[in-house]
Structure formats: structure tokens, C-alpha cells
């Protein structure tokens, strides 16, 4: 495969630094690096110096935090999205944004290929590449982990030393036993001792949250304001999407909220055990359902719940840019026109509890729902015919002994 210029998704760490040099050496091509700040909590600017030290001339470092939350996380949360009943898709939802920016940079720089550091065993290779092909059908994709023979940490370190790649060797030697991925929505942990599904994650593994049993003995309350299904303010103060999520991450983490230990089914076919911290996302999922409970029509709410698993599967498997995901998104967004109001959340020892909700667009009518005298707002005698009509097929079948 002939390649003149390739855009590499570059973190500045050991693996992608080696990939940058390997691409130069193997393909004799020019390398453009792209480093995204999506709220991973680590300084991204040092990646510039590392890339420059390898002779890379075009270096992109982009702050994508607001775009990530506004255009990817919030649309996903309008659907109350969880995968396999538990996973809030923190890694999955970041990949289409990175793929989008890789293609944009390829177009800007005239590159004919992109490259990433995802392994051949994981979901991320699928997500990056499906997104890239959807946005630029003729792009070439180079996935070094599917090509090279550097299949151990020792081989990678030897390659780095041989090619004078700027890596903090002392830090690399003290590497966490876990493979971690972080962004503003979550942090994930895989590998190492977690590969034994019976092994309980050690307390010092968790980075964003305290253990629920050591969380404060008094609850924290936060009011979340919604407009058209998206959170726009906390405790009455309007904030940007990224600021809202970052603040809820802190509040949730302080109260032991958002930990998850999951064995999931990867798209490539294997089961994988991972642990996740998603404090802000856990709060937002509960809060959004809270405001929808007031404002959504029953059948619309139930239809959304039926569609959600398919929508979640599309995101998990990497089909964010597919026509079917866009179609579902249009339906979901249309349902959110009247999802406006305020939800009061009670955060206490690992629990995110809806403590109150109010909306000018509420469909809750206290006059009808009351257990007290409703003044004739609801005629209880109407229920008799309703029940008999719905029981008709059951009565006919029972009469025939079925």
C-alpha cells in the first residue's frame, strides 16, 4: 500500500509514539499527528514536543470538550442510552468524534490515510474505521497492531530505545496494571487482574470516586434544568455542556456515584470484563428520565424505551454515522420538544435519587390523579367499560377452555 501522508490519532504515550516512528519507517510517509482533548484529565500539550522531536511538522492539538458533550454525549443521553442494561457508553461515544476530526484533518492536509493505535481484539478499531469510511469512503486506514510484530511491552520498549523515541521510561516502567481510557464522560479500566471475572476491583484502582461506604453521611442536592431534553443549568446557574458534566462528575464522585463492574459482549465476538466510573453521566441519566416522566406522553416514552437498546447497540458497535442512527436520532430529538423543567437530584452514598421534578410542560394533572375528591375531573364509572372491552378476548378464550 502506497501512502504519502497519514494522520495519526496521537496521545503522546508509548504506543502512539512508537506508531508515529513505525509509520515513518515502514511506509516512508509524512506523518501528521492529531491529539484530542476530550476531558481525559491529562495534559495534552506535551504531545506537541514529543511529536516535534520525531520530526513531525504538522501537529494538531484540539480542545474538543464542548463539542464532545454538546454534539455526542447530550444527543445520546436524550435517548436514555445504556448498553446491555448497564454501560453508559463512555468510550464508544468518543470514537465518532475522533474519527470525524481525523478525516477533517486528512482533508485539510491532503493526507491519503489515517492511523490509530487500537488493537485487533477490541471494539475501537471498528468504531474508528466505520466512522472514517462513512465520512471519507476512499480513505486508507493503517492499523499497526494488525500489521507489526511488536506484540509485547518489552518489544515496544526495545523499539522505543532503538529509535530514540521520547518516552518517559521510568513512568512507563511503573505503568498501571490496567488499560485505561478517560474522557469527560467516564474513565474505564480493563486488563491486568480484571481479566479474572471473580477478582474484585481493588479500591485504589478507582480514580474519580470515593467508595459509597466512605462517602459523606449527609446528602448533596443539585437542581438540573432542562431545555428540549438537554441540561442547561445547575442550581439555576447556566453553564456550558462540558462545565455541567465536569461539575456533576465532581459531585457524583464525592458521593460515591457511578461505579460499574461489567462483563460485556464486544462486537468482535468475545466477552470482556471492564470497570467504569461515570458519576456525572449516572446522575444525568436518572435526571433525564425524571423530567421525561412529567413531560412525555406515555406511548412516546414507551416507544423510546423500545428503541433505546437498538440505538445503544449502534453506538457501541461504531455506527454513529450510519443512516439508521441518524434516523433514530431524528425521532428521539422530536420527542424532546417539551422535555423542559427542573429535576432535583439527591446524591447519597452511591445513589442518584430523583427527589423532585417540575415543568411548565408537565402532563401530570393533580386534579385527575388525586386520591381526594377530584370534583368530577375523572369519572370512575368509565373504567368499567374500559376493563370489560380489554378483557373481551380473555373472556372468549376462557369460555372455550383455553
**Residue 90 near residue 276, CB atoms below 8 Å:** yes
The active-site residue, picked from 15, 37, 112, 230, is 15
152: left (phi over 0), alpha (psi -120 to 50) or beta: beta
Q: Which residues of 301-331 are buried (b: 16+ CB within 10 A; e: fewer)?
A: beebeeebeebbbbbbbbbbbeeebeebbee
The cell for 98 is 475522533
Quickly count: other Cβ atoms within 10 Å of residue 179's Cβ: 15
78 is catalytic: no
Q: What are phi and psi of 351, to 5 degrees?
A: -110, 135
Q: What are phi and psi of 119, to 5 degrees?
A: -80, 165
The cell for 256 is 460515591
- Three-state secondary-structure class, residue 70: helix
The active-site residue, picked from 95, 127, 259, 325, is 95
95 is catalytic: yes
225 is catalytic: no
**Residue 313 near residue 322, CB atoms below 8 Å:** no
362 is catalytic: no
The active-site residue, picked from 17, 78, 92, 124, is 124
The active-site residue, picked from 179, 243, 293, 322, is 179
Q: What is the set of active-site residues?
A: 15, 95, 124, 179
Amino acid at each position: 500500500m502506497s501512502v504519502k501522508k497519514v494522520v495519526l490519532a496521537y496521545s503522546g504515550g508509548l504506543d502512539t509514539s512508537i506508531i508515529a516512528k513505525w509509520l515513518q519507517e515502514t511506509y516512508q510517509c509524512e506523518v501528521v499527528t492529531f491529539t484530542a482533548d476530550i476531558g481525559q484529565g491529562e495534559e495534552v500539550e506535551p504531545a506537541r514536543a514529543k511529536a516535534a522531536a520525531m520530526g513531525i511538522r504538522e501537529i494538531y492539538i484540539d480542545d474538543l470538550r464542548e463539542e464532545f458533550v454538546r454534539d455526542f454525549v447530550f444527543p445520546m443521553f436524550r435517548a436514555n442510552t445504556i448498553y446491555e442494561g448497564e454501560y453508559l457508553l463512555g468510550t464508544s461515544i468518543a470514537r465518532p468524534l475522533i474519527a470525524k476530526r481525523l478525516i477533517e484533518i486528512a482533508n485539510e492536509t491532503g493526507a491519503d490515510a489515517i492511523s490509530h493505535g487500537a488493537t485487533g481484539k477490541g471494539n475501537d478499531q471498528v468504531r474508528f474505521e466505520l466512522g472514517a469510511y462513512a465520512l471519507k469512503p476512499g480513505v486508507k486506514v493503517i492499523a499497526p497492531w494488525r500489521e507489526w510484530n511488536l506484540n509485547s511491552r518489552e518489544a515496544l520498549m526495545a523499539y522505543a530505545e532503538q529509535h530514540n523515541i521520547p518516552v518517559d521510561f521510568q513512568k512507563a516502567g511503573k505503568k498501571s496494571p490496567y488499560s485505561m481510557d478517560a474522557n469527560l464522560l467516564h474513565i474505564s479500566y480493563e486488563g491486568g487482574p480484571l481479566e479474572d471475572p471473580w477478582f474484585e476491583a481493588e479500591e485504589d484502582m478507582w480514580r474519580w470516586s470515593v467508595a459509597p461506604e466512605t462517602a459523606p453521611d449527609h446528602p448533596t442536592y443539585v437542581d438540573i434544568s432542562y431545555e428540549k431534553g438537554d441540561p442547561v443549568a445547575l442550581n439555576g446557574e447556566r453553564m456550558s455542556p462540558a462545565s455541567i458534566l465536569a461539575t456533576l462528575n465532581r459531585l457524583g464522585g464525592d458521593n460515591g456515584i457511578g461505579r460499574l463492574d461489567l462483563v460485556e459482549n464486544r462486537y468482535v465476538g468475545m466477552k470482556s470484563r471492564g470497570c467504569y466510573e461515570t458519576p456525572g453521566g449516572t446522575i444525568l441519566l436518572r435526571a433525564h428520565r425524571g423530567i421525561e416522566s412529567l413531560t412525555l406522553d406515555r406511548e412516546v416514552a414507551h416507544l423510546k424505551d423500545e428503541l433505546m437498546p437498538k440505538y445503544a447497540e449502534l453506538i457501541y458497535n461504531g455506527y454513529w454515522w450510519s443512516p439508521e442512527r441518524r434516523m433514530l436520532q431524528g425521532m428521539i430529538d422530536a420527542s424532546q420538544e417539551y422535555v423542559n423543567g427542573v429535576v432535583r437530584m439527591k446524591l447519597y452514598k452511591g445513589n442518584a435519587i430523583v427527589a423532585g421534578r417540575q415543568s411548565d410542560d408537565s402532563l401530570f394533572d393533580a386534579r385527575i390523579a388525586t386520591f381526594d375528591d377530584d370534583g368530577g375531573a375523572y369519572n370512575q364509572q368509565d373504567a368499567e367499560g374500559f376493563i370489560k372491552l380489554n378483557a373481551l378476548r380473555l373472556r372468549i378464550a376462557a369460555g372455550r377452555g383455553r
